[in-house]
Amino acid sequence: MKDKIVVITGASSGIGAALAKVAAARDAVPVLVARREDVLRAVAAGCGPRAWPLVADVTRREDVRRVVDETVRRLGHIDVWVNNAGRGISRLPSELTDDDVDEMIRSNVKSALYGMQEVLPHFKQRGEGHVVNVSSMLGRLPFATIRSAYVGAKHFLNALTASFRAEVQQTHPGIQFSLVSPGVVWTEFGRNARHGGPDSRQLPDGQEPAEVAEVIAGVIETRRPDVYTRAGSHDRVVAYFDKVGVDP
Catalytic residues: 150
82 close to 187: Cβ distance less than 8 angstroms = no
Question: How far is 176 from 165, CA to CA, in rounded Å?
Answer: 7
Q: Are 206 and 184 a contacting pair, CB within 8 Å?
A: yes
Instruction: Spell out the SS3 assignment of 124-184.
Output: HHHCCEEEEEECCHHHCCCCCCCEHHHHHHHHHHHHHHHHHHHHHCCCCCCEEEEEEECCC
H/E element holding 30?
strand 29-34
Q: Which residue type occupies 207?
A: Q
